[in-house]
Amino acid sequence: MFHLGLNPYGLTYYLGLQGRGTPRANPAGRGLEGFIEIASQLNAKTIELHNSWITELTPAAAQSVRQRIAALGMTPVISLGPPLEGLDTAIRSALAVDAKTIRLGLSPVLCGDRNACGPHWREFIANARHNLQTYAPQAAALGLVLAIENHQDFGSQELLDFCVESGPNVGICIDTGNPLAVGEAPLEFARRVAPLVRHVHLKDYNAQWTNEGYRLVRCAIGDGAVPFQELAAILAQHHQTLTASLEPGALEARHVRLFRPEWWNGYPSRTAAQLGPCLAAARLRRLPDDADYRTPWERGDSAETIVQYELDMIHRSAANMKSLGWM
């Protein structure tokens, strides 16, 4: 069912998308070339390309990337944001590499913390709505699908509303771990959005409970709280095939402080019965309260240690998904 492959966001240090200092980038990163190499090693069927990599190429270089990806039998997807700016460039990138799907992040909010934005949260909503309604018709005329991600900011019903407002070529990129960041259980989230899913980010977390809520701690996909077999069955009810990308979580833990009343500012009201499945899901394979949750990045370990950590996790994730029949 799944054309499973890779996106770059579980390898941000190795690829040079994240580093220490200003700008926060790793100049020794392997970039697009290193990414294609790893995707090829994993026999990826989907390759999700960071939009800036493609916009920086000459037309001839972009044509070369397009040909290489096609020769490797990979389906390209363009990935943009957050924030949701430069959608016009993502459309050009998609045409350059013959991608049919553009994955979009709508806002910079993380950990579900809308309250931290203050009045800017409504601005993010208005900006996302404007951009989607402006560019969706242009993308549709070119045969492109826009897949908006639950990037630890919007809930399932809010994403469905964006899709209905924006047009039939706008769907959802479901990130399998991120529902926990907005107080929703992965399976409940998937059931609601499944008909409109157009792309999948495979992510998993171990939760570590705190006095304020829980931390979502990066782990190999298949080693955490997300029940992938059940999730696959939900998506299979609506789709024969879907593109999907392996994406271990960020190098920084996400602290979801949903036990603090102010965290809920900006959310619609929710009953205890609606929140309960999320709290139950976050207790599966949870970390002990006193465990060291930090990644090598958070501990300030060497570059070599961080790189090996990322690579080991990608390979373990691929092995786990293969054992489950996803890859």
**DSSP 8-state class, residue 260:** S
Query: In b/e form, how buried is each residue of 176-194, taking b as 16+ CB within 10 angstroms?
Result: bbbbbbbbbbbbbbbebbb
Given the structure tokens 């944001």, which residue do they identify? 81
One digit per residue, the tens of pLDDT, for the chain of length 327 reads: 899 999 999 999 999 999 876 566 777 789 999 999 999 999 999 999 999 999 999 999 999 999 999 999 999 999 998 877 789 999 999 999 999 999 999 999 999 999 999 889 999 999 999 999 999 999 999 999 999 999 999 999 999 999 999 999 999 999 999 999 999 999 999 999 999 999 999 999 999 999 999 999 999 999 999 999 999 999 999 999 999 999 999 999 999 999 999 999 999 999 999 999 999 999 999 999 999 999 999 999 999 999 999 999 999 999 999 998 887
DSSP of 19-49: -SSSS---TT--HHHHHHHHHHHTT-SEEEE
Whole-model pTM: value is: 0.96
Residue 144 phi/psi, 5-degree rounding, is: -105, 145
pLDDT of residue 152: 97
pLDDT of residue 233: 97
pLDDT of residue 225: 97
pLDDT of residue 27: 73
pLDDT of residue 81: 84
Given phi > 0 = left and psi -120 to 50 = alpha, else beta, which region is 21? left
CATH architecture of 2-323: Alpha-Beta Barrel (3.20)
